Structure 1
Amino acid sequence: MNKTILTLVAVVLLFNCSTAQKITKEQPIDKAVVKASMIKALEWQEAHPIFAIAPTDWTAGAYYTGVTRAHKATNDMMYMAALKNQAYWNNWQTYNRLHHADDVAISYSYLYIDMVDNRKNFVDLEPTKKFLDAHLYEDDVWKAGNRKNEMGQTILWWWCDALFMAPPVLNLYAKHTNQPKYLDEMHKFYMQTYNQLYDEEEQLFARDMRFVWTGSDKDSKEPNGKKVFWSRGNGWVIAGLALILDDMPTDYEHRPFYEKLYKEMASKILAIQPEDGLWRTSLLSPESYNHGEVSGSGFHTFALAWGINNGLLDKKHIPAVKKAWHAIAACQHDDGRVGWVQNIGAFPEPASANSWQNFGTGAFLMAGSEVLKLN
């Protein structure tokens, strides 16, 4: 199916994520309604488990990061019950690719449980430690630059999504265990990805080296001539930045770099927000798939609201965040399912009212968790 047909299908399927946005975008935030919608999303997702590879993979990691942030914001035991249940049945394990950032994302939830649960010997962080030590300190072909292909697998975190998966875990692990060496290692590998994938002109991240435009590759540009910047890919990065800054010591020597990067990306994301509130899957070519998408938009909304709540963004941006939240909320079905989530991928593609993934629910919960704190 070609791109034109896919676009037409997406437009035909557009439902309340177009009309409801226009109606609700000026409404105030009703925190009771936000909390209720978040619980409905949790309940539906828990009743409809899904994962890409295993219950400990990156999709579950992103989802339960959302559950973690929801509990942190509300202290509702429904979220903690979900967190503990999945951790227990996972036996506190990561997934098994020790040099792939995706496979430790689930540990963010384990670390959080250990930080708030007072029972000794309940949480087992040994699998997380084993993963992190292997990930950072064992030799691997990616770190040695011996596995080069079209995606640019010459560094450990060769795709921008990785900046959500591993760095927040490393940062939180360093904080929780009082071992700053893990934070220093995180920064070292983060800079590799930044130097390879960050576009200083556009202030956005290419997903991987296939989309780093060299001036000769026509495939790395959109039909409108703009570079390809994937909404969810950049959502992973800016949401990961908010998570990192939330736990990073205020006096950490490299913190100014992360704050500067956060502010640059936030400024760009705000500048290109569509009028209806939802970002398109292709950030600089919104006409390619001219409908909103919830996973990227949820991560953007979380990060922007977090910045306002923590003084990194001016409160004048609250209306933009409120508009985004109302648009996201309009994409939730009556049963709690969160629709309009682009399926698993690596570049801009369409979504539909009935496309959902657990990481989309995670983005929804993350966005709600910070919107609740807005004044």
Structure 2
Amino acid sequence: MPNELSRRIANCVLLLFRKKRLFASLVCTIFLFQVSSDAQKLPSKKNRLKVATLANQYFMNKWPDPFKPIHVPSRNRTWPSNIWTRAVYYEGLMALYGVDKRKSYYDYAVDWSTQHKWNLRDGTRTRNGDNQACGQTYIDLYLVDKKPERIDSIKASMDKMMRSEKIDDWNWIDAIQMAMPVFTQLGVIYNDTSYFHRMYEMYAFTKYKHGDKGLYNAAEGLWWRDKDFDPPYKEPNGEDCYWSRGNGWVVAALVRVLNILPGNEPH
């Protein structure tokens, strides 16, 4: 099994950095490290939980007021704390709460949500995935305590999109992670497969239509961030440009969605 794991990791790394000679040494380093670690066991659940708890406590200590706006001095800009930048943290917090039911985690998430009135930046009219990402946590909290007001706003926002024929909103790949799981969550809650269908339509448009021929490069197994980076765009070294974080968002979205979707769902 460890040898099989080594092979899979090596194949994944080679896929990600194929043709990228600059990273050849990185590929070798990762592969050799894994081979040398074959005899070692993965960290125990206890140790993994300890690290996650430590990291989360650092965040909660740094941000005791979850409602506090996010200010970035280098950009001289301030954002509300319910957009994607903070929403993705709460996804992780709820996952941590799923394995460690500390009341402080739940209360922190509820406090954040309540202070934002369980709403989205730009309200229910928004179609922007960056604004809808908070809905994933609102829904997770609703599943703990089914108070309708917890999901009224996010449902209204997604339902407005459902009533439209427009399916090209996710024109940058990060949006797949921010919004696609919300459709999936609502489809499960309301036992309504139309949410799954619309989710897939929007995902497929991003993958196969946005830009010239979609934002997914099947030959490389990677995604261009948006239409500004698909062909004919090239980096100065003549190579394609891929944003690693954006590709990570897509993978995270697919894992989350597949974990939520019913097993008999065609998509």
Q: What range is the shorter-chain TM-score in?
A: 0.7 to 0.9
SS of the residue 1:159 aligns to:
coil
2:132 to 86, 100, 104: 104
Q: 1:122 to 1:37 in 2, by over 3 A?
A: farther
State whether structure 2 residue 128 is matched by structure 1 residue 85: no
The amino acid of 1:88's aligned partner reads T
Aligned to 1:168, which of 181, 185, 196? 181
2:224 to 174, 183, 206: 206
One-letter amino acid of the counterpart of residue 247, structure 2: N
Unmatched runs of 5 consecutive residues or more in structure 2:
1-28, 64-68, 71-77, 209-213
2: CA distance between counterparts of 1:35 and 1:122?
A: 32
Aligned to 1:238: 251
2:263 equivalent in structure 1:
250
In the alignment, what sits opposite 1:197? 215
Give the partner amino acid of 2:130: D
Alpha-carbon distance in 1 for matches of 2:207, 2:260: 20
What one-letter code is carried by the residue in structure 2 that aligns with 1:203?
Answer: G
Counterpart CA distance in 2 for 1:122 and 1:82 is 19
Structure 1 segment 303-322 matched on structure 2, within 5 A:
none
* Amino acid in the other structure paired with 1:135: M
- Equivalent AA in structure 1 for residue 58 of structure 2: W
- CA deviations 1:179-209 (Å, max 9, x no partner) are 2211111111111001110001001110001
Q: Structure 2 matches for 1:284-299, cutoff 5 A? A: none
Q: Deviations over 1:212-247 (max 9, x none)?
A: 123xx4xx3352x33111110000000000000001
Question: What is the CA distance between 1:99 and its match in structure 2?
Answer: 1.7
Q: Is the 8 A contact 1:113 1:123 kept in 2?
A: no
CA distance in 1, matches of 2:119, 2:142: 14
Task: Tell me how far apart the structure 1 counterparts of residues 242 and 62 of structure 2 sit (CA, whole Å).
Answer: 31
What CA RMSD, in Å, does the superposition of the two structures yield over aligned residues? 2.3
What is the alpha-carbon distance in structure 1 between the residues aligned to residue 173 and residue 103 of structure 2? 33
- More relative contact order in 1 or in 2 (CA 8 Å, sep 6+)? 1
> Offset of 1:88 from its aligned partner?
1.6
| Counterparts of 1:173 and 1:48, CA distance in 2 | 32
Tell me the distance in 2 between the aligned counterparts of 1:168 and 1:174.
Answer: 10
Give the greater-gyration-radius structure (CA). 2
Select which of 94, 119, 138 maps to 1:68. 94
The alignment status of 1:58 with 2:84, answered yes or no, reads: yes
1:306-345 to 2 correspondences below 5 Å: none
Q: Secondary structure at the match of 2:150?
A: coil
Distance 2:162 2:183 in 1: 10
2:60 is aligned to: 46
Corresponding residue for 1:221?
235
Per-residue deviation at 1:122? 6.8
Q: Deviations over 1:126-180 (max 9, x none)?
A: 11112112233347xxx48xxxxxxxxxx21100001100000110111112222
1:101/1:162 contact within 8 Å kept: yes
Q: What is the percent sequence identity of the aligned residues?
A: 25
Looking at structure 2, the residues matched to 186 and 122 of structure 1 have their Cα atoms a distance apart, in angstroms, of 23
How far off its partner does 1:74 sit?
A: 3.1
SS in structure 1 at match of 2:110:
helix
TM-score normalised according to structure 2 size: 0.72
Identify the residue that residue 135 of structure 1 maps to in structure 2: 161
TM-score, normalised via structure 1 length: 0.52
Distance 1:194 1:44, change over 3 A: same
Q: Deviations over 1:290-337 (max 9, x none)?
A: xxxxxxxxxxxxxxxxxxxxxxxxxxxxxxxxxxxxxxxxxxxxxxxx
**Cross-structure match for 2:10:** none
Alpha-carbon distance, 1:94 to partner = 1.5
**Equivalent residue for 1:32?**
46
Q: How many residues align?
A: 212
- Cα distance between partner residues in 2 of 1:82 and 1:74: 14
